[in-house]
Structure 1
Amino acid sequence: MPQNQEYEMQRGFLVGAVGGVAVMAAVGGVVTFLLAGKDVQHTTIDTYSRALYVKVDGRPAVARTILQARIEGWYHPLPWVGKDIDEVSCPAHLKAVAGATETCTARAGSERVSIPVRVIKVEGDPATPRVTWKFER
């Protein structure tokens, strides 16, 4: 095989390989973007369930154990994006009042990270509301 033809074949292979890697990276980026868009970082609970019902200052609140479990389960649903966390700890229950905030913490490797939590909507009977809250990554 002539030298030029062999060079062209190697060059074609290299261009194809680089192009293939670029296409795979683009597809991976699009898939990650689409999955992250579906990654709902909020949750709605009905506080009238005995397991979820607590009171703070005489008002319904989301139990901190529920906050901790939901954050740990939802914080890192895409293994190739973000931090993997454990040991989530919330210092208090989250009041069932729109705009109420709390800051939970978690361990990510050897460091502690802060996770702000905020109630975004409260619906229904004030004594047994339906609470929608979200956390920030």
Structure 2
Amino acid sequence: MQRGFLAGAVGGVVAMAAGGVVLTCLLAGKDVQHTTIDTYSRALYVKVDGHPAVARTILQSRIEGWYHPLPWVGKDIAEVSCPAHLKAVPGATETCTARAGSERVSIPVRVTRVEGDPATPRVTWKFER
């Protein structure tokens, strides 16, 4: 009777852990990071083709800090590099790269919303894993 109870308990724990792993992986795969900044701060203010833009240093630091909020899921990245500033225009895109172990990974970035004064807008952008 004790063997049956022990086998059932161990089986239940294993099943719950496996379910948790599957659920976490599914949710992490659909996770997209969004962030909003105001471009009027002197430290954040840059222009691209006459438009306000999100400085690439901001893109790089946000991506590196938020790329994998769950440490047991996804890739651990370092050395994020964005080739240009992200223009504050809805739909504007950029592709940043990062080092994940011995390989480079591409990280697409896209502006989803621009609000407020066109000269100093609030820019909402996202990156995908």
Do Structure 1 and Structure 2 share a fold, with TM-score over 0.5?
yes
**1:93 and 2:77 are equivalent in the alignment:** no
Q: Specify which structure has the higher proportion of strand.
A: 2
CA drift of 1:22 comes to 1.6
- 1:40, CA displacement in angstroms? 5.8
Structure with the greater alpha carbon radius of gyration: 1
Structure 2 residue runs without a partner (length 5+): none
What per-residue deviation string (whole Å, max 9, x for no partner) do you get for residues 59-78 of structure 1?
A: 10000000000000010111
Question: Which residue is 2:10 aligned to?
Answer: 17
- Which letter does structure 1 place at the counterpart of 2:48? V
The residue type paired with residue 41 of structure 1 is Q
For 2:17 and 2:83, how far apart are their aligned partners in 1?
43
Structure 1 position 36, deviation (Å): 4.8
Q: 1:58 aligns with which of 50, 66, 74?
A: 50
The alignment covers a number of residue pairs equal to: 128
1:81 aligns with 2:73: yes
Counterpart residue identity of residue 13, structure 1: L
The separation in 2 between residues aligned to 1:28 and 1:113, in whole angstroms, is 23
Tell me, which stretches of 5 or more residues in structure 1 are unaligned? Answer: 1-7
In 1, are the aligned partners of 2:90 and 2:114 still within 8 Å (CA)?
Answer: yes
Three-state SS of the structure 2 residue aligned to 1:41 is strand
The one-letter amino acid of 1:44's match is T
What letter corresponds to residue 107 of structure 2 in structure 1?
Answer: I
What TM-score does the superposition give when structure 1 sets the normalisation length? 0.84
Runs of 4+ with >6 A deviation: none
RMSD of aligned Cα (Å): 2.2
